[in-house]
Amino acid sequence: MISLTLARKYARALLDIGRQEGNYEVLGKDLQKIADLLKENRELKGILLSAAYPAATRKAIVRAIGQPLGLSKSTVDFIELLIDRERMDHFAEIVRSYESLCDGICGRIRATLVTAVGLPPELVRLIKAQLESKIGKEVVLSVEENPSLIGGVLTRIGNVIYDGSLKTQLLRVKESLSKE
């Protein structure tokens, strides 16, 4: 719980800076670029998150990767602040909190569509449009594949799951038959 509270505090502070500068969406994209890089490069993640390396070295690395990634000065300064305060271990949660705060400001909601097989892009667009009309907000939809669903789809919107998968339907039939 402390980690979540701490992450929201830092995310809110960066969001305030972004709103003052008028670039809070850019800062969110910058954070996501760094998060993606840390997922891809475990060695870099180990260095940036470890207090075993001097802060000056870790900050120099952030400045070095900032240029090719096209990170804003505010983002680089923010990461350096996290390094100075030994808070990089909370980075993933800070990114999620920032994303959530930004979505609230922009009237967006994030959803995940899980399917057994890949869907054609036009069907994904149609599902996204249907979700937006039902919810009344812009939906940022990510699509995942999970062959264990057998068929149908499962949709997660926030903490709510709409399960229309064939796997779940078969389990319900099985439970119904076992009760009789």
71 lies in the same domain as 26: yes
Place of tokens 């990170």: 71
CA distance 150 to 155: 15
Q: Along the 180 residues of the chain, how does pLDDT read in single tens digits?
A: 678 899 999 999 999 999 999 999 999 999 999 999 999 999 999 999 999 999 999 999 999 999 999 999 999 999 999 999 999 999 999 999 999 999 999 999 999 999 989 999 999 999 999 999 998 999 999 999 999 888 888 899 988 888 888 888 888 888 888 887
pLDDT for the residue numbered 26:
96
pLDDT for the residue numbered 1:
60
Total tally of structural domains belonging to the chain: 2
> What is the SS3 assignment for 139?
strand
99 lies in the same domain as 11: yes
CATH number at residue 42: 1.10.520.20
Q: Which of 141, 158, 14 lies closest to 90 in space, CA to CA?
A: 14
132 lies in the same domain as 97: no
Strands 108-115 and 138-145: parallel
pLDDT for the residue numbered 174:
84
CA distance 46 to 176: 50
Neighbours of 55 (CB within 10 A): 13
pTM of the model: 0.79
99 lies in the same domain as 115: no
Q: Where among 104, 125, 142 does a domain terminate?
A: 104
For residue 164, give its domain range.
108-179
